[in-house]
Amino acid sequence: MTDNEYGLISFANTHHALKTEKLLKERNYSVEMRPIPPSISAECGFGVEFDIGKVEEIEEFLKENTVQTEGYYHIIKSGNKKSIKKL
């Protein structure tokens, strides 16, 4: 994960965000809880940041573990600006 480019998962509630963080850390993924940027509409104010290069395996792993997500985003920071693309 780099400071300039990463993935972010949004959730309908905090329970799913916490469950995701726990499951991914148990599998040794590098993840962190982060506030959701205002431009991403989400019921829960928190998301899970992850290495964007692992998006497909993380998405598959969470489906296998029946974790409900709202969306996956690719975020690129350049100076004070963020480019956010929904995957």
Domain with 29 in it: what CATH number?
3.30.70
Residues 53-76: pLDDT tens digits?
A: 999 999 999 999 999 999 999 999
Give the residue numbers spanning the domain of 12: 5-86
Mean pLDDT of all residues in the chain? Answer: 92
The whole-number pLDDT of residue 2 equals 59
Q: How many domains does the chain have?
A: 1
Give me 49's structure tokens. 């940041």
SS3 content of the chain, % helix, strand, coil (to 5): 30, 35, 35
The whole-number pLDDT of residue 52 equals 97
The whole-number pLDDT of residue 40 equals 87
